[in-house]
């Protein structure tokens, strides 16, 4: 079992906060390559969005008022609307130290230290940080409040937290939220980040209010075995209907250089995931035409 302690979060003009937290389960029900997720807590079978973190406790909105939550099961879910803004980390470092201490009756074997510089392209309030961790049989989170961020102003960030197991590469993810909307996580592809930045710039300037869906996870098409001897590359265009959650609900081939590539192209695109289209800050359904190349597998050596 994973046990975590929220440690000290150090930023300019922010007091230190140290709290002991129980295991916090995370159910990954959202598309993970994108931003625009929400951090939510399950309270008595009802999912409530976490709007901010104060003194180590998540706060949710109930009946139009914010109140602290003492639930222990957390999840990521899709936001019902689009929130402009993008946070970036520079000089991001994660370090693990060996401790072997006894705290609050539990053995603490390691300490994680996360450092970096954080910058936002827009002014943000009610910011909080989430470190999501997984092991072979469990998952958990550490969360801490952050100060408000000013547009274009870089701030130093440091989080220290004891824990019972070490973080392993590929088994943790960093998230930053503002007013409950996720604006950063550490596994965003470079192309996705560029699209998010452009979207924020256009919305902030008022030049555009509608945006097409952006692919965030594109499984490759399987090359047809019958064409292996020819080694020809497949080129296909697929029209797909994407719902407001970024899922492909229907697809059809509109162009293909060989009929043999049609089914592999469809099978691949049906597994693609998107950031949904945006209209007036709402996530909406859309129809997009996507292109893909189907290449033969590289020979094994």
Tens of each residue's pLDDT in the chain, 301 residues: 233 333 333 333 332 233 333 333 333 333 344 556 888 888 777 888 889 988 778 899 888 899 888 766 788 887 777 777 777 777 777 777 776 655 555 556 777 788 888 888 888 899 888 887 776 666 677 788 888 889 888 888 887 777 766 666 667 778 888 888 887 766 666 777 777 777 777 877 778 888 888 888 889 999 998 887 787 899 999 999 999 888 899 999 999 999 999 999 999 999 998 888 888 888 889 999 999 999 987 655 5
Find tokens 């998230």 and name the residue: 175
Q: What is the pLDDT of residue 20?
A: 31
pLDDT given for residue 299 in this prediction: 57
Nearest to 182 by CA among 250, 126, 245, 258: 126
- Cα distances (angstroms) measured from residue 48 to each of 16, 157, 195: 27, 28, 29
pLDDT value, residue 188: 65
For residue 178, count CB atoms less than 10 angstroms from its CB and return exposed for 0-12, middle for 13-18, buried for 19 or more. Answer: buried
> Under a CB-based contact definition with an 8 Å cutoff, are residues 274 and 298 in contact?
no
CA 40, 103, 18, 157 torsion: positive or negative?
A: negative
- Cβ atoms of residues 30 and 74 within 8 Å: no
Domains parsed from the chain with CATH numbers = 4-194 (no CATH), 209-294 (3.30.2420.10)
């Amino acid at each position: 079992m994973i046990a975590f302690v929220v440690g000290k979060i150090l930023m300019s003009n922010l007091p230190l906060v140290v709290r002991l937290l129980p295991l916090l389960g995370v159910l990954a029900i959202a598309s993970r390559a994108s931003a625009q997720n929400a951090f939510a807590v399950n309270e008595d079978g009802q999912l409530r969005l976490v709007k901010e973190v104060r003194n180590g406790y998540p706060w949710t909105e109930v009946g139009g008022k914010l109140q602290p939550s003492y639930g222990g099961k957390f999840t990521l879910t899709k936001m019902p609307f689009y929130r402009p803004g993008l946070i970036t980390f520079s000089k991001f470092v994660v370090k693990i130290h060996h401790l072997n201490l006894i705290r609050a009756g539990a053995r603490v074997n390691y300490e994680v230290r996360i450092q970096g510089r954080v910058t936002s392209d827009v002014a943000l309030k009610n910011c909080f940080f989430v470190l999501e961790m997984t092991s072979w049989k469990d998952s958990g989170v550490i969360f801490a409040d952050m100060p408000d961020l000013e547009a274009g102003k870089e701030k130093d960030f440091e989080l220290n937290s004891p824990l019972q197991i070490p973080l392993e590469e590929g088994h943790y993810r960093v998230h930053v939220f503002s007013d409950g909307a996720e604006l950063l996580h550490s596994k965003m592809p470079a192309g996705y980040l560029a699209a998010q930045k452009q979207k924020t710039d256009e919305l902030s300037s008022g030049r555009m209010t509608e945006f097409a869906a952006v692919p965030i996870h594109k499984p490759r098409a399987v090359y047809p075995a019958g064409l292996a001897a020819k080694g020809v590359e497949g080129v296909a265009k697929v029209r797909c209907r994407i719902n407001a959650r970024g899922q492909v609900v229907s697809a059809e081939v509109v162009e293909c250089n060989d009929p043999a590539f049609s089914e592999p192209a469809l099978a691949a695109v049906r597994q693609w995931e998107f950031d949904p289209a945006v209209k007036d800050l709402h996530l909406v359904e859309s129809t997009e035409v996507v292109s893909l190349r189907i290449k033969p597998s590289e020979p094994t050596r």
